[in-house]
Copies of this chain bind each other. A is one copy, B any other.
């Protein structure tokens, strides 16, 4: 019984309620996704600097592996634009594009990344997806999309240009503009225009022709396949490749990938470890956010740990079958979702169809012009450009907007790896910067209530000789000096302060550096005849403070509320507590003084 149960927990949970209706929906979605996946697999292989068939190999086994271990019902795993760009950036300095070595190194990127993801998944470290803020991810993807689009202008126009950064590429494109290959440029630009128009107008047109909204939304997304087939037909009909010199995909070896694993040598491991981990983690972060946004629409749940395992297995499967790094794609997953996928079996259907293409239809794509692939890439990545988040951030919080801009400009100006590094640094830096300048408020009583609010925002009652100060952030090494400085400023401003009450209601944690600073502040103030008190200390904070001498040094126990503190410190009839304080001349050590 127990064995049965545990076997059951190892099976994907969606199997329980699976039925014939869902199977039919998955089959339809699988067919639709394949129509998008075939041109994408060819295009992203080209973007990564790899032979076309590598893209197809990466679109087969990974889908099966993800189906077993992943947690999303709709994520479509395979080659994607950003991971392909990062693969090219990582491998280009190490090998000649398209060479056997280049293919091997790309495969190793998937292998290393897959092992790392699988390991993180087993260790349940899905939270690493939270190390990048949304503005940074958005800035990174936008910068990458622009960089990809600029890079694809080269095959699109048939201009021989090169460069690592967006600026170098643009300069090179302009300076080589004279060498533009006119037939290629005409084909490329018209393909891009057709794709753009279908994206822009087709859905509306189809809807006005009476098609259902869902179908009208899906059909335009299949335009790449139509453009690809038309282009192939045109090349074949007019011999544009041999006659007009338009570059085409060329021979694609037919048949399924051979399964083999080549282990990296130590130097390869050293050269590839960092980019492999970056590609894997960036892919994971992107993929989880796509999966999550689709799951929310249907009330499904994503398990980040399962996603790590699913994507790890998918990358190992890709490496095993001679592919390159894969992850969940944004556009393709959207199509899968819209086409009605109910389970990862939709991906299995797509994989089966891809196998059929590899077995019998590779010949069809050999005369596919590279300019058309470039057009599909450009139109696809333009959809990733996300200025809305920048605008939103600009209005909400400039620091987030700056993080977006720095990351995007970093990707464009310094390259994709430096961009990621800059993005992580900006994410963390923004947070630290904010936390190191905490909001603080001098508070007073609202009317006769037990509520205390910022005296600058509310009409409140204050008490002579009493400074009530609230800190709206956890106290730690980076902000405690600013907090102490503000306390000193407020004491100087108020003049005759006898009691300082720190409202710690917003303080979720106090680190050791901050506790020590509070202890110093306390003995410093005591020498000047000012008593420090704590109020509204949160449970977990109090638990820790009990391990220090601070609570014992205070004249009063921390107050449950400011109301209680006022009652004692400014209460009618009660003598000011200060009178029991002996005048202290010098030296910080008064531990033998009796406590009130």
Contacts and interface: CB of A to CB of B under 8 A. Distances in A.
Interface of A: 127, 129-135, 296-297, 299, 304, 389, 392-393, 395-397, 400, 427-428, 430-432, 434-436, 438-439, 441, 449-451, 454, 457, 472-474, 476-482, 505-509, 511-513, 515-516, 520, 524, 527-528, 538-540, 544, 547-548, 560-561, 586-588
Given A130-B479, A297-B588, 4 more contacts: A134-B513, A396-B515, A435-B509, A472-B507
Contact of A547 (B130, B395, B479, B528): B395
A184 to B, nearest CB: 42
Contacts of A297: 586-588
Nearest to A548: B396
B435 A134 contact: no
Given A432-B431, A506-B506, A392 B512 contact: yes
B131 A540 contact: no
B428 A127 contact: no
Contact of A538 (B127, B299, B439, B513): B439
A388 B198 CA distance: 71
B474 A397 contact: no
Given A130-B478, A506-B506, A520-B296, A547 B396 contact: yes
B539 A441 contact: yes
Contact of A436 (B127, B135, B395, B478): B127
Contacts of A130: 436, 477-482
B472 A400 contact: no
Contact of A509 (B299, B473, B520): B473
A277 B546 CA distance: 39
Contacts of A478: 130-131, 431
Contacts of A304: 481
Contacts of A396: 512, 515, 544, 547-548
A478 to B, nearest CB: 5
Given A134-B477, A400-B511, A506-B508, A472 B516 contact: no
A508 B131 contact: no
Q: Which 6 A-B pairs have the closest CB atoms?
A: A472-B508, A133-B477, A134-B513, A473-B508, A506-B506, A400-B512
A319 B396 CA distance: 47
21 contacts: A127-B436, A130-B479, A133-B513, A297-B588, A299-B528, A304-B481, A393-B512, A396-B548, A397-B511, A397-B512, A400-B511, A430-B511, A431-B432, A431-B435, A431-B476, A431-B478, A434-B509, A449-B450, A451-B561, A473-B474, A505-B506
A520 to B, nearest CB: 6
B476 A133 contact: yes
A527 B129 CA distance: 26
A457 B539 contact: yes
Contacts of A395: 547
Contacts of A133: 476-477, 511-513
A468 to B, nearest CB: 15
A233 to B, nearest CB: 40
Contacts of A127: 436, 481-482
A528 B301 CA distance: 14
Contacts of A435: 431, 435, 474, 509
Nearest to A488: B301
A506 B507 contact: yes
Most B CB within 10 A of own CB, among A392, A435, A508: A508
Contacts of A129: 481
A545 to B, nearest CB: 9
Nearest to A395: B547
A507 B528 CA distance: 33
Given A506-B506, A506-B507, A512 B476 contact: no
Nearest to A456: B539
B432 A512 contact: no
Given A130-B477, A439-B538, A299 B512 contact: no
Nearest to A393: B512
A482 B304 CA distance: 12
A296 B434 CA distance: 28
A162 to B, nearest CB: 27
Interface centre among A436, A473, A528, A586 (most CB of B within 10 A): A473
A144 to B, nearest CB: 19
A393 B434 CA distance: 25
A539 B436 contact: no
A547 B508 CA distance: 26
Nearest to A527: B299
Contacts of A527: 299
A477 B430 CA distance: 11
Given A472-B508, A477-B130, A508-B506, A135 B540 contact: no
